[in-house]
């Protein structure tokens, strides 16, 4: 009896599936690389113009040194410890005022948004002060609290409070009423309602205010340090300008930009973790 040979399995579908999966992976890698490359290209062009303009004589090298000289000054300041000293001083002041503002503004914003009597009582004073620029009050803080750390931290608290406060009020007030009614119909207590419905829904708007406040904390503090301080990035910039150490001045400005980007990136990561319930498209 002659054995009949078994027919070979058709591997065409398997090869097609692998090819399709490989194509999807390649497209994903390509799109990810492009998302990373797009901002990098813009930054590279900007830095290239910065480097070339002084060297080609388009601007005076004395007042705008090439970017490589600024980088060299940045690393020199980092090596001798000056940069760390100034960054530490500014960061301590900014974070202290920032966290105090969060502790004040979020509970107050929730109270104003949720309780009408509190809103009616506090709205007039809030409207008065939220339209008053923080830097306009710097002389007042200096006169009352002195030229030391207290006046700078108080100024940061003032500048950070209103973005967080206003966005907290907006976030709580714009929660979908249907969600609140549904939770109430299920027997949720007021505390449980805030914990499970109102606060999660308001997190994105609140974090918008927090990120705005983080930027304000750095900017206002730098301006305050330029007026009166013995350490800090604002002091570094002003002292470098007065001593005509222009590369050091630009190195301080670059340090401020990097500090702001780092703080914003950390806040974005925290926001994503707290907003994992949201459906992304």
Can you tell me the distance from the alpha carbon of 259 to that of 118, in angstroms, rounded to the nearest whole number?
A: 37
Can you tell me the distance from the alpha carbon of 52 to that of 168, in angstroms, rounded to the nearest whole number?
A: 46
The pLDDT score that the predictor gives to residue 181 is 74
Tell me how far apart the terminal alpha carbons of the chain are, to the nearest angstrom. Answer: 64
pTM of the model as a whole: 0.75
The pLDDT score that the predictor gives to residue 253 is 92
Strands (E), the chain: none
The pLDDT score that the predictor gives to residue 123 is 82
CATH number attached to the domain at 67-275: 1.10.3720.10
How many CB atoms neighbour CB 252 within 10 A? 30
The pLDDT score that the predictor gives to residue 281 is 45
Can you tell me the distance from the alpha carbon of 192 to that of 19, in angstroms, rounded to the nearest whole number?
A: 51
Name the strand (E) or helix (H) holding 80: none
Can you tell me the distance from the alpha carbon of 126 to that of 161, in angstroms, rounded to the nearest whole number?
A: 11
The gap from C-alpha 215 to its chain's centroid, in whole angstroms, comes to 6
The pLDDT score that the predictor gives to residue 46 is 87
What are the respective helix, strand and coil percentages of the chain, to the nearest 5?
80, 0, 20
How many CB atoms neighbour CB 179 within 10 A? 15
Q: Helices H, strands E: what count in the chain? A: 11, 0
Residue 9 backbone zone (phi > 0: left; psi -120 to 50: alpha; other: beta):
beta
What three-state secondary structure class fits 175? coil
Question: If you compute the radius of gyration of the chain from its CA atoms, what whole number of angstroms results?
Answer: 27
Domains in the chain: boundaries? 22-64, 67-275
What three-state secondary structure class fits 186? coil
Q: Which residues of the chain have pLDDT under 50?
A: 1, 281
> Residue 177's closest CA among 193, 156, 162?
193
Q: By the 8 A CB rule, do 205 and 86 touch? A: no
């Amino acid at each position: 009896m002659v054995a009949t040979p078994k027919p070979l399995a058709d591997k065409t579908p398997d090869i097609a599936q692998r090819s399709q999966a490989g194509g999807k992976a390649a497209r994903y890698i390509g799109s990810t690389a492009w998302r990373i490359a797009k901002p990098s290209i813009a930054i590279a062009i900007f830095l290239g113009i910065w480097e070339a303009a002084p060297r080609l004589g388009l601007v005076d090298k004395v007042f705008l040194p090439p970017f490589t000289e600024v980088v060299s000054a940045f690393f020199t300041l980092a090596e001798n410890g000056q940069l760390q000293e100034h960054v530490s001083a500014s960061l301590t002041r900014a974070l202290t005022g920032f966290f105090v503002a969060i502790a004040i503004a979020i509970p107050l914003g929730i109270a104003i948004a949720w309780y009408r009597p509190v809103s009616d009582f506090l709205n007039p004073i809030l409207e008065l002060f939220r339209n008053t620029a923080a830097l306009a009050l710097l002389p007042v803080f200096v006169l009352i609290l002195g030229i030391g750390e207290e006046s700078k931290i108080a100024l940061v608290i003032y500048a950070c409070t209103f973005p967080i406060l206003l966005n907290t009020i907006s976030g709580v007030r714009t929660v979908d009423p249907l969600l609140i009614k549904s939770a109430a119909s299920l027997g949720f207590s007021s505390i449980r309602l805030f914990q499970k419905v109102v606060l999660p829904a308001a997190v994105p708007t609140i974090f918008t205010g927090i990120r705005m406040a983080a930027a304000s904390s750095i900017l206002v503090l730098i301006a305050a340090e330029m007026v009166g301080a013995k350490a800090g990035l604002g002091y570094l910039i002003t002292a470098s300008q007065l001593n005509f150490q222009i590369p050091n001045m630009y190195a301080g400005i670059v340090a401020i930009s990097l500090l702001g980007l780092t703080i914003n990136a950390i806040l974005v990561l925290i926001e994503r973790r707290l907003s994992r319930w949201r459906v992304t498209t």
